[in-house]
Structure 1
């Protein structure tokens, strides 16, 4: 028997990125390949939370792609999908400010997301 319920992961997100996700403008979330994300897969739900608040938004994982580093990820996924408001070089600087070199060395995950359907099957409006 298989479980038909999607797994829900809770992840923190900075306000500027949360707003882009909630608006549907950010379709790729960047994360380090931490062990707790190793089994993240299409169909999972991510509940993003702004740290220290009750604000959340849920997205569905469409695809997870591994890259050796953030430069390869930006080149492979396209910077506009990650943050349509800044340049590739600025994004690389911003990502590396969050994740130091020893974290980047673990590998990078490009998590393709879409707004999660609500319980009635419709896409949520944020």
Structure 2
């Protein structure tokens, strides 16, 4: 089991902390491509951290392809529509980053 630390924006940190967000979306940077099922992810926002275990890693060619399969509520919470979620993700990752591949990291409380 490997450990990885990822920085995350406050609203998404809070959704992970309360258990609503169980899928973290990232693009295929080399660091992300090293994450595998069974690894431990430490999420940080400012001085706050929390840990989750990775149960599954799925790669997609685009955000749209990912959202056609994955549960949007598990990614952005119950208050975001599909279109709002696409906009929010694309605000973080422009098209050239999306072209690196899209990763859905499935999370559970640390075991």
TM-score by length of 2: 0.95
1:80-119 to 2 correspondences below 5 Å: 80-84=73-77, 85-117=79-111
Q: Choose the corresponding residue for 2:16, options 12, 21, 42.
A: 21
Structure possessing the higher relative contact order (Cα contacts under 8 Å, 6 or more residues apart)? 2
Q: CA deviation at 1:7?
A: 1.1
Matching residue of 2:31: 36
CA distance in 1, matches of 2:110, 2:18: 12
TM-score by length of 1: 0.84
Give the count of matched residue pairs.
Answer: 110
Q: Does 1:12 align with 2:7?
A: yes
Larger radius of gyration: 1
Which structure is higher in strand share?
2
Matching residue of 1:46: 41
Matching residue of 2:62: 69
CA distance in 2, matches of 1:107, 1:116: 26
Structure 2, unaligned runs of 5 or more? none
Task: Provide the secondary structure at the position in 1 that maps to 2:86.
Answer: helix
Q: CA deviation at 1:39?
A: 2.2
Superposed CA RMSD in Å reads 0.8
Task: Provide the secondary structure at the position in 2 that maps to 1:77.
Answer: coil
